[in-house]
Amino acid sequence: MLLGRRITVLGAGVGGLAVARALALRGAQVTVLEQSEAIREVGAGLQVSPNGARVLRALGLGAALDSAGPQGRAVELWDGPGEQRLLRMTLPPRHAGQSDVHYLHRARLISILAEGAREAGVTIRLLHRVEQVTLGAHPPRLTTAQGVEMEADLLIGADGLHSKLRAAINGAAAPFFTHQTAWRALLPAEADAEPVAQVFMGPGRHLVSYPLGGGLRNIVAVQERHKWVEESWSLTDDSIALRTAFADFGPKVRGWLDQVEAPGLWGLFRHPVAKNWHAPGAVLLGDAAHPTLPFFAQGACLALEDAWVLAEALAGHDSDAAAFAAYQQIRAARVAKVVGLANGNARNYHLSGLPRAVAHMGLRAINALAPERMLKRFDWVYDHDVTAGA
């Protein structure tokens, strides 16, 4: 049961703030520890698909989501160098006659979740960088960068790719560099920009773009290369390197990239889904448990799903151990399948030579005959509703 339980959450990201609100609404006393001096989200845009939107609506944040950015109408796949559209998949109406796919800036989603957490009674403590988590004796112990030690009656690690809690539970891990690097940027959006996610594909690289509302367009561009790049959201690159990588793409992409200054840069690493998601008094959530490559736009949505399932499990079981076990059992197979799907897209977007020609011929045929069938392959992702129960 959760009434009066004191719970500490590491990380004020999407998953951490969502689980904090979910637990507080069920009666828990929740404190979120965030290492930054302010709640903010670096990066650019993200997509919230229906499976994630259902969680936000169940948390009472649906109206805020609807006003945060445009609702998507379609997904398009393009031949980047030839600038020819290969396939348009219209998103089916799911909510109020619209798709319930949302394009928004990460900072806007973080703001919605932070406001929702505080409104539910969550305490958010900034400048609390946790350097060490000690397990083995209950309750877990935390040591901050300032040398302050504290205990957590129940600890949730929503602290991302470099999670201190994941390392404490599973030991150190060695992620695999995919030999892919990504740039991100925000540009002014055209006044008449249609809310469509477009993927421009080329040999060894691709670029994704969609409008975010508020006069902004999101750009994420990925290139295969052997030079190692740090897995960090704080790096920037020379815009010439980005433009050079896509110099043979069509005028639409080149026109966007001509506007980019100092794009963000990060290396893409493949992390295994954690073997163990929990230990006595502690449990992992979101990227801390199952990082995913950004090739299926599900990182935020999987964290939202985790948040709901974990809160329900803790509220519905007599012991934390039983709740943690149920939570991992419900989530592990699904997240592994979605992570695998993202890994596959990394290959499919970057085909070259004969395989690329054959694949593009197939996409054109699907577009002419039954484009909706392509999208229906992913109904198991988008139609999933964790708020309806296991």
Residues labelled catalytic: 210
| Tokens linked to 373 | 């069938």
Please state, in angstroms and rounded to a whole number, the distance separating the CA atoms of residues 245 and 224: 10
CA distance readout (Å), 41 to 106, 139, 281, 345 = 6, 30, 28, 26
Phi, psi of 386 (to 5 degrees): -70, -20
Please state, in angstroms and rounded to a whole number, the distance separating the CA atoms of residues 55 and 388: 10
Half-sphere exposure of 296 (CA within 13 A, CB side): 25
What sign has the CA pseudo-torsion 26, 30, 33, 34? positive
Query: Cα–Cα–Cα angle for 380, 383, 387, nearest 5°?
Result: 120
Burial class of 367 by CB neighbour count within 10 A (0 to 12, 13 to 18, 19+): middle
| Tokens linked to 19 | 């689980």
Cis peptide bond prior to 211, omega within 30° of 0:
no
CA distance readout (Å), 337 to 91, 109, 333, 341 = 22, 25, 6, 6
Q: Which residue, among 178, 182, 132, 176, has the nearest Cα to 152 in the 3D structure?
A: 132
Q: Which helix (H) or strand (E) holds 46?
A: strand 45-48
Question: Cβ distance 235 to 62 under 8 Å?
Answer: no
- Largest Cα–Cα separation, the chain: 64
